[in-house]
């Protein structure tokens, strides 16, 4: 069973590092939820909401970084 509160704080810290890059292009990311089975749900904000490359940003950027930094995470999903 995941320690969701501790994991949430750690993921928020990781997302703050990713935000630096997203904000350069007027984008952002918000942590929405973490499930007990290690699924992290995020919402892309700003210019990321309509960007044609947002799925690549999600998979190759956000998800990859979070999976490497947090072994408890299985997947990152986008919610709108």
What's residue 5's pLDDT? 80
CA pair distance 8, 12, nearest whole angstrom: 6
User: Where residue 74 sits, what CATH number does that domain have?
Assistant: 3.30.300.130
pTM, two decimal places:
0.90
CA pair distance 5, 17, nearest whole angstrom: 19
Look-up of token digits 């799925």:
55
Alpha helices in the chain (DSSP H): 4-23, 54-56, 64-69
Domains held by the chain: number:
1
Q: Per-residue confidence at 1, pLDDT binned at 50, 70, 90?
A: low
Q: Per-residue confidence at 2, pLDDT binned at 50, 70, 90?
A: low
* Residues 60-79: tens digit of each pLDDT: 999 999 999 999 999 999 99
* Residues 5-62: tens digit of each pLDDT: 889 999 999 999 999 999 999 999 999 999 999 999 999 999 999 999 999 999 999 9
The residue range of the domain holding 23 is 4-78
Q: Looking at residue 79, what DSSP letter applies? A: -
């Amino acid at each position: 069973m995941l320690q969701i509160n501790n994991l949430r704080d750690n993921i928020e810290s990781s997302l703050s590092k990713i935000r630096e890059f997203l904000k350069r292009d007027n984008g952002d990311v918000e942590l929405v939820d973490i499930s007990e089975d290690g699924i992290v749900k995020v919402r892309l904000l700003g210019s990321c909401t309509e960007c044609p490359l947002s799925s690549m940003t999600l998979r190759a950027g956000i998800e990859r970084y979070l999976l490497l930094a947090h072994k408890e995470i299985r997947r990152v999903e986008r919610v709108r």
